[in-house]
Structure 1
Amino acid sequence: MKTKIPYIGSIAVTIGAVLIMILKPLNGSLSGQGQMVLAGILITLGLWIFKPFGLPFSAGALFFAAYMLAVGIPVPTVFSGFTQSAVWTLVAALFFGFVIKKTGLGYRLALLILKLFKPSYVSLTIAWAIIGIVLSVLTPSMTVRVAIVMPVALSCCELCDLKPGSKGNSLILLTAFAMALIPGAGWLTGSLTGPVLSGSYDAVPELNGMLNFSSWFSVSFVPVEIASLLMLIGSLLFMRPKEKLPESAAKAIKETKCGKITKDEIISGVILVICFILFLTGNYIGVSSTIVCLGATFLFFVFGIIKPGEIGTGISWDLIVFLGMALGLGSICETVGIIDWLSGLIVPALRPFSANAFLLVGVVTVFLFLWHFIDIASYFPTFVILPAILPAIQRAYGISPLVFAPILALAGCAFFVSYENHWVIMAQSVTKEKSWTPGHLLTYGIIYFVSSIIGIMISVPIWANMGLLF
């Protein structure tokens, strides 16, 4: 039955889309072309979410492009996502991840940090937090970070003699996974969410230029890092076993070799550290993140760290095609009136909660976390459509679009169950039968959810003091 779900789901969505095409139920709210576009978006989302026939994201993106051209959307509008700097920032960011994985720099750093601590559940939790932050500084690619830390975490569990399915095993693996994912969302280039949302904001005329490294850091760093800290504390409170780790684990970890450091690792490390310094100072020296990323990628080619033959294989061009098309979704929806229609639904729905900033922000946060159960296409459809509605929300309730950046970043990483987060699925494919249990994943996911809510609520007075809330 499980193998039939992709087909049943995509067929059901397609039937709903066809009914919209035939019956035109939204006459008076949307034009005929608008309803045709809405139907095409639904079919595409069905392809992205359910992936029938094992179709990659790019296949759904190609269908989307062909369909939009067929219903009369202008070529520049359909392919507008590829003209945004976010796509090219992402290309470079993915090459960053390829470099630290290929050279072994990421693995070396993770192992060296682990060796600094005497094995205990508390010390290993701290170590994984440091590893996650360091890797987030070096590459925005969460996929690469997960690919680096999960084998190391699995080895750590084996050296500590933790049984698969045990609380201790799940705690170590889930902490390594979560720290590879979450803390980096505190700055623009610390996760793929940053470049994607930056591009989505820039596609909206009222928001163009609003989301940069400085503005993202000012609104996101506090809630994201508070959420990360509380998640670590909560995991130790609710998931730490009573028994201690064996004394032999310390010696085993210390004796694990990572080989002699190479020239490529040194060059890569220097380039990536300089990049992060430029990200931090870019607003003051007038250099954008895109320029820094593309320049660094050029240097990787110059120094031979990336070979010509690796252009096609080094990164996921499936993701690039998917993202380029997805980033044009907002412009298409704006052109045919779908954004105005959605605004007419969403803005009034928020009115009962608008009297209090804590209530409004809290309701939005909870909804976006729960929405992830539906939008499982890496949350990208939400990332690219919601920003176009934010100006209407700001006009109605005085909540700045900047406030939504950390909320979306945190909600986009939700992992109550494995199917809603493709990084969870990826991590489980690495750890296989030695992975965490579904129950432990749910527990950790709830801890993350509660930690995120608290982090967001603590940030509300800060945002209000910055003039971002009514």
Structure 2
Amino acid sequence: MNKTSEVRYLHLFITIAIGAILWFIPTPAGLDQQAWHLFSIFVATIIGLIIKPLPMGSVAIMGLTAVVLTNTLEIEEALSGFQNKTIWLIVIAFFISRGFIKTGLGARVAYLFVYLFGKKTLGLSYSLIASDLMLSPAMPSNTARAGGIIMPIIRSLSEAYGSRVGDGTERKIGAFLVKSSFQGDMITSAMFLTAMAANPLAVQLASDITGVEITWTGWMLAAIVPGLISLFIIPLVIYKLYPPEVKETPKAPTMAKEKLKEMGSLKREEWFMISVFIILLVLWIGGTTFGIDATVAAFIGLVILLLTQVLSWSDIKKEEGAWDTLVWFSVLVMMASYLNSLGMIPWFSDLMQGAVQGLGWTYTLVILAVVYFYSHYFFASNTAHVSAMYAAFLSVIVAAGAPPVLSALVLGFFSNLFGCTTHYGSGPAPAFFGAGYVTQQKWWSLGFLISIIHIVVWLGIGGIWWKIIGLW
């Protein structure tokens, strides 16, 4: 029996060739050879994450092995990323998010919002986005959150109103719900540190480069105002520019009520899930008062779920996304950390500082943030983009005199929002676009318009809010 190969050999050759070419280019003046060699392996790893000659975890393992075999770093240094507490926070949050799906609590929350606010199509879109927002603090996989919980409900609702793919009825309701829910997920992912897997990577890079510590509460506080405004505006914009043919949806609350009736009253496991969710939020917001770190809080939540048998160890072992994240995340953090300590990032910062000299930090922040945003057209992954460009852009912005925390957060927020642009640029995008309700042309044109709205809202209104809370 033939098995589909995981290895795409041409892409693998391209990945290795790029790394080798960089390796043998003479080390630039002012830079240590060790830093340049690590940079060449890092670039090859990022290229591998983009063109995918192998799954992400395999690419990361190749990068780690190359670092050690070439004596660029010692094995202890190469494995140092696996003990990073931020990585374990996101890995454990993956396990906890499995509880929302396994217990059915995530679907129950979504159906409850549909029942309460789903009488009109616009209200229906807001109810689905509100469900996403409610779940996002404890579900770091926006793909699992949107694709695993929200998308199946969208499909059911669309088909209930005769909106199907391939028969010319996509615009009845399905296309609008797909596009608005996807765009909502990009915003909710930006609103919490634990709402998207690459957010902690950005926080870790910011800490390595500038020494600032961004807390869960600090991230949430900075994002809450521009985030809520975006969540309100974006569905309205899509409703006006890409309106559904069906404006009233009286069947939706009835359907949701029937689903809730089928689910019955809250089960024991769901009550435990709700309790853990509340405990986590309390500890993430105020745990430092009790000397409880955010990662320790996540461990506490996981232990409770295991002791109450909401999750079994078998569930933990099967959570492939979490273990996959642990591997590639650890390798990328390790490489980025050593690129900074070996002088690569400071060297690049000094080099680029001349290009923006005299602009002032405000213009530098805005210009580079916008460049960072639109460069996402070249990336098929939020994580690959953050890994490749976040540290370099942040170092230049901070070197221009911009407040470090503000700069780190702006790039961190944009590391989610830029997913609005294409049908391949984030984890949930293929799931939503692949449903077939929205054409690529419409996806891109609406995405570009929404990107402009995001930049105006987050840098404009967000900038005023950040001034109020003292970020600049």
Question: 2:37: which partner in 1?
Answer: 36
Distance (whole Å) between structure 1 residues aligned to residue 249 and residue 399 of structure 2: 59
Question: 1:445: which partner in 2?
Answer: 447
Q: Give 1:397's aligned amino acid.
A: G
Question: 2:129: which partner in 1?
Answer: 129
Task: Single out whichever of 260-269 and 85-94 deviates more from structure 2.
Answer: 260-269
Q: Give 1:448's aligned amino acid.
A: I
TM, length-normalised to structure 1: 0.88
Per-residue CA deviations over 1:179-226 (Å, capped at 9, x if unaligned) read 33422422323333433323333334x425x21123213322223332
Distance (whole Å) between structure 2 residues aligned to residue 49 and residue 108 of structure 1: 36
Task: Give the secondary structure class of the aligned counterpart of 1:420.
Answer: coil
Per-residue CA deviations over 1:210-257 (Å, capped at 9, x if unaligned) read 211232133222233323322222212211135534655554444345
- How far residue 466 of structure 1 moved from its aligned partner, in angstroms, is 4.9
Whether contact under 8 Å (2:206, 2:391) holds in the other structure is yes
CA pair 349-166 structure 1, distance change in 2 beyond 3 A? farther
CA pair 71-308 structure 1, distance change in 2 beyond 3 A? same
Q: Give 1:30's aligned amino acid.
A: L
Task: Give the secondary structure class of the aligned counterpart of 1:397.
Answer: coil
- Tell me the matched-pair count: 456
Are positions 1:354 and 2:360 aligned together?
Answer: yes
Q: Give 1:420's aligned amino acid.
A: G
Question: 1:67: which partner in 2?
Answer: 66
Q: How does 1:221-370 map to 2 (within 5 A)?
A: 221-241=224-244, 243-245=246-248, 247-249=250-252, 251-257=254-260, 258-260=262-264, 261-316=266-321, 317-351=323-357, 353-354=359-360, 357=362, 359-370=363-374
- How far residue 276 of structure 1 moved from its aligned partner, in angstroms, is 1.2
Q: Give 2:70's aligned amino acid.
A: V
Per-residue CA deviations over 1:8-63 (Å, capped at 9, x if unaligned) read 55544543332222342x431433333322221222122211112xx111111111
Question: 2:85: which partner in 1?
Answer: 85
Task: Give the secondary structure class of the aligned counterpart of 2:173.
Answer: helix
Task: Single out whichever of 156-165 and 188-197 deviates more from structure 2.
Answer: 188-197
Q: Give 1:441's aligned amino acid.
A: W
Q: Percent identity?
A: 19
| Unaligned 5+ runs, structure 2 | none
Q: Once superposed, what is the RMSD of the aligned Cα atoms?
A: 2.8
Task: Give the secondary structure class of the aligned counterpart of 1:454.
Answer: helix
Distance (whole Å) between structure 2 residues aligned to residue 351 and residue 462 of structure 1: 27
- How far residue 388 of structure 1 moved from its aligned partner, in angstroms, is 6.8
Question: 1:180: which partner in 2?
Answer: 185
Q: Give 2:225's aligned amino acid.
A: V
Task: Give the secondary structure class of the aligned counterpart of 2:155.
Answer: helix
- How far residue 451 of structure 1 moved from its aligned partner, in angstroms, is 2.3
TM, length-normalised to structure 2: 0.87
Distance (whole Å) between structure 2 residues aligned to residue 51 and residue 108 of structure 1: 36
Task: Give the secondary structure class of the aligned counterpart of 2:403.
Answer: coil
Whether contact under 8 Å (1:219, 1:403) holds in the other structure is no
- How far residue 7 of structure 1 moved from its aligned partner, in angstroms, is 5.8
Whether contact under 8 Å (1:175, 1:232) holds in the other structure is yes
CA pair 272-92 structure 1, distance change in 2 beyond 3 A? same
Task: Give the secondary structure class of the aligned counterpart of 2:378.
Answer: coil
Whether contact under 8 Å (1:419, 1:425) holds in the other structure is yes
CA pair 36-82 structure 1, distance change in 2 beyond 3 A? same
Distance (whole Å) between structure 1 residues aligned to residue 337 and residue 77 of structure 2: 6
Task: Give the secondary structure class of the aligned counterpart of 1:227.
Answer: helix
- How far residue 279 of structure 1 moved from its aligned partner, in angstroms, is 1.9
Are positions 1:408 and 2:392 aligned together?
Answer: no
Are positions 1:111 and 2:116 aligned together?
Answer: no
Question: 1:149: which partner in 2?
Answer: 150
| Unaligned 5+ runs, structure 1 | none
Distance (whole Å) between structure 2 residues aligned to residue 312 and residue 294 of structure 1: 16
Distance (whole Å) between structure 2 residues aligned to residue 461 and residue 381 of structure 1: 27
CA pair 243-334 structure 1, distance change in 2 beyond 3 A? closer
Whether contact under 8 Å (1:132, 1:184) holds in the other structure is no
Per-residue CA deviations over 1:86-111 (Å, capped at 9, x if unaligned) read 11101210011111111111011111
Whether contact under 8 Å (1:185, 1:409) holds in the other structure is yes
CA pair 287-194 structure 1, distance change in 2 beyond 3 A? farther
Question: 2:56: which partner in 1?
Answer: 57
- How far residue 426 of structure 1 moved from its aligned partner, in angstroms, is 3.2
Task: Give the secondary structure class of the aligned counterpart of 1:190.
Answer: coil
Per-residue CA deviations over 1:385-444 (Å, capped at 9, x if unaligned) read 634763563243233233332433333342322222232113345x3x4x3221232233
Task: Single out whichever of 179-188 and 101-110 deviates more from structure 2.
Answer: 179-188
Question: 2:220: which partner in 1?
Answer: 217
CA pair 134-246 structure 1, distance change in 2 beyond 3 A? closer
